[in-house]
C-alpha cells in the first residue's frame, strides 16, 4: 500500500515529571534518566524526522523543561523549518527560559491544568502546581505565543467544567482541549475512579456547546468524548502509522504514544534503525496500516474508512488481541467488556502516579 510521509513528531524527551497525575497515559514502567537519548541522538532524530517530511514537532514528556538541552533541540527543529510546540506542565517555566526558547523559534505552548480551583487541581496533580500554571500561562501570553490549555476530564473534575472554561478564558487561551481520559498506561489502573458517569457526560454536553458558541472566534474548544460511553470508537491516530510518529525517551519509535502497551508488537529504536526505515518498513508501523489486517466485523463494515476499526491499543488492553475490533464499538462481539466496566460502581480512591 502507499504510505504517506508523517506530518508530526511527538518527541517524548523524558518521562521524568514533577506531577503525579492519576490519569497519566504514559506507561506504568517509565524510562529512566540513564537510558534517555543524548542531545546528539535527539538532534539526529529531529534531522531525520524533517527529512522524512515532518513539519510539526511536539516536545513533550514527562516534563520537557527537565531536559537542559531543550533550547538546543528547539533551535535545531526551528532551523530545520519545523513548527515547534512545547507540551508542558508549566513547572520550571520562567520568563528567562521562555524568552530564550522563543528566541530560538518556539512557536506554541500547550499547558496542562488539572482542575478549576487550586485545591482540586493540586490534589489531582499531587503537587502544588496550580498557581505556577497561572504564572506560566501569563508568561506565554506576555511572550506573544499562542496558548493551548489541555485539561483531562474524569469523574473527579467533571463537576468543575464551567470553572475550567472560565479558567481558560482568564488565561487568555487560544485553544482549550477538554479531553475525557483515555485508559492507557497508568490511567488504566485508575479506571474505576476516573470513569465519568453518564449523568456527568450529559451535564457537560450543553455546557461545552454553549461555550463553543459564545467563544467562537476567541477561543477554539475541542471536546474529546469519553469513548467507552459512545457507540462507535474514535478514529485513533487517524489510522495506524498514518500521520504521526512518537519517539519515546529511550529512542523507541511508536506508531502511537500508547503503543508500548502492545506487548506483541516488535518495536524498533532510532538507536539501531534509521527513522525512515522504521516509518516505511518496520513490522510495527505496518502491522495495522490500511485494512488488510482487519477481521470481521470491521473488514466488511461501512464505517471502516471513518474509524479504522478504532484503537489498536485499546483493543489489545481489553481483549489481548491488537487486531480485534475496538471493543468500544457496538458492533464488536466483545462490547460486553466495556459495558461491564461501565456497570461497575465508581470508586473514589485514586492511585497517584509514582
Ligand atoms: Fe468501526 Fe469496526 Fe465498529 Fe465498523 S465494526 S464501526 S469499522 S470498529
Ligand atoms: Fe494506540 Fe489508539 S492509543 S492506537
Render pLDDT for 152-168 as a digit per residue (tens, 0 to 9). 999 999 999 999 999 99
Please check if 24 is assigned to a binding site: yes
3-state DSSP of the chain = CCCCCCCEEEEECCCCCCCCCCCCCCCCCCCCHHHCCCHHHHHHHHHHHHHHCCCEEEEECCCHHHCCCHHHHHHHHHHCCCEEEEEECCCCCCHHHHHHHHHCCEEEEEEEECCCCHHHHHHHHCCCCHHHHHHHHHHHHHCCCCEEEEEEECCCCHHHHHHHHHHHHHHCCCEEEEEECCCCHHHHHCHHHHCCCHHHHHHHHHHHHHHHHHCCCCCEEEEECCHHHCCCCCCHHHCCCCCEEEECCCCEEECCCCHHHCCCCCCEECCCCCHHHHHHHCHHHHCCCCCCCCCCCHHHCCCHHHHCCCCHHHHHHHHCCCCCCCCCCCCCCCHHHHHHHHHCCCCCCCCCCC
Say yes or no to pLDDT of 348 above 90.
Answer: no
Average pLDDT, stretch 175-197?
96
**Ligand 1 atom with the shortest distance to the CA of 330:** 3
Say yes or no to pLDDT of 255 above 90.
Answer: yes
- State which of 26, 312, 326 you would mutate to test the pocket of ligand 2, scoring each by most atoms of that ligand within 8 A of its C-beta: 312
At residue 295, the pLDDT reads 94
Distance 314 CA to ligand 2 centre (A): 6
Q: Lowest-confidence range among 45-59, 102-116, 269-283, 335-349?
A: 335-349
Please check if 329 is assigned to a binding site: no
- State which of 180, 183, 228, 236 you would mutate to test the pocket of ligand 2, scoring each by most atoms of that ligand within 8 A of its C-beta: 236
Say yes or no to pLDDT of 354 above 90.
Answer: no
Please check if 17 is assigned to a binding site: yes
Residues 89-133 pLDDT 10s: 999 999 999 999 999 999 999 999 999 999 999 999 999 999 999
ipTM (interface pTM): 0.92
Say yes or no to pLDDT of 346 above 90.
Answer: no
Q: Which residue minimizes the CA distance to atom 2 of ligand 2?
A: 311
Residue in 298, 301, 283 with CA at minimum distance from that of residue 241: 283
Distance 284 CA to ligand 1 centre (A): 22
At residue 154, the pLDDT reads 98
Distance 58 CA to ligand 2 centre (A): 17
At residue 1, the pLDDT reads 81
The share of the chain scoring above pLDDT 70, in percent, equals 100
Say yes or no to pLDDT of 291 above 90.
Answer: yes
Distance 159 CA to ligand 1 centre (A): 32
The share of the chain scoring above pLDDT 90, in percent, equals 97
Mean pLDDT of the chain: 97
Cell triple for 70: 531543550
Amino acid at each position: 500500500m502507499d504510505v504517506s510521509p508523517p506530518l508530526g513528531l511527538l518527541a517524548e524527551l523524558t518521562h521524568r515529571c514533577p506531577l503525579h497525575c492519576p490519569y497519566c497515559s504514559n506507561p506504568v514502567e517509565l524510562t529512566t534518566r540513564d537510558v534517555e537519548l543524548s542531545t546528539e541522538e535527539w538532534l539526529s532524530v529531529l534531522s531525520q524526522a524533517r527529512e522524512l517530511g515532518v513539519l510539526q514537532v511536539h516536545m513533550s514528556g514527562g516534563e520537557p523543561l527537565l531536559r537542559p538541552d531543550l533550547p538546543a533541540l528547539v533551535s535545531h527543529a526551528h532551523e530545520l523549518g519545523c513548527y515547534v510546540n512545547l507540551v508542558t506542565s508549566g513547572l520550571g517555566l520562567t520568563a528567562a527560559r521562555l524568552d530564550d526558547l522563543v528566541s530560538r523559534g518556539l512557536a506554541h505552548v500547550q499547558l496542562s491544568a488539572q482542575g478549576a480551583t487550586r485545591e482540586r487541581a493540586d490534589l489531582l496533580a499531587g503537587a502544588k502546581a496550580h498557581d505556577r500554571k497561572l504564572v506560566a500561562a501569563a508568561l506565554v501570553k506576555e511572550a506573544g505565543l499562542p496558548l493551548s490549555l489541555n485539561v483531562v476530564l474524569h469523574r473527579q473534575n467533571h463537576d468543575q467544567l464551567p470553572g475550567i472554561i472560565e479558567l481558560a478564558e482568564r488565561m487568555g487561551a487560544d485553544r482549550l482541549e477538554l479531553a475525557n481520559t483515555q485508559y492507557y498506561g497508568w490511567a488504566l489502573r485508575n479506571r474505576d475512579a476516573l470513569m465519568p458517569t453518564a449523568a456527568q457526560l450529559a451535564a457537560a454536553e450543553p455546557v461545552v456547546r454553549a461555550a463553543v458558541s459564545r467563544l467562537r472566534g476567541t477561543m477554539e474548544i475541542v471536546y474529546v468524548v469519553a469513548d467507552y460511553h459512545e457507540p462507535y470508537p474514535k478514529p485513533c491516530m487517524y489510522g495506524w502509522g498514518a500521520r504521526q510518529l512518537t519517539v519515546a525517551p529511550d529512542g523507541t519509535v511508536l506508531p502511537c504514544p500508547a503503543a508500548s502497551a502492545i506487548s506483541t508488537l516488535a518495536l524498533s529504536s532510532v538507536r539501531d534503525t534509521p527513522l525512515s526505515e522504521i516509518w516505511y518498513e518496520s513490522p510495527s508501523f505496518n502491522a495495522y496500516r490500511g485494512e488488510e489486517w482487519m477481521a470481521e466485523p470491521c473488514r466488511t463494515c461501512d464505517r471502516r474508512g471513518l474509524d479504522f476499526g478504532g484503537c489498536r491499543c485499546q483493543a489489545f488492553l481489553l481483549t489481548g488481541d491488537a487486531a480485534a475490533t475496538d471493543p468500544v464499538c457496538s458492533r464488536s462481539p466483545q462490547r460486553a467488556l466495556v459495558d461491564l466496566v461501565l456497570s461497575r460502581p465508581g470508586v473514589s480512591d485514586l492511585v497517584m502516579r509514582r
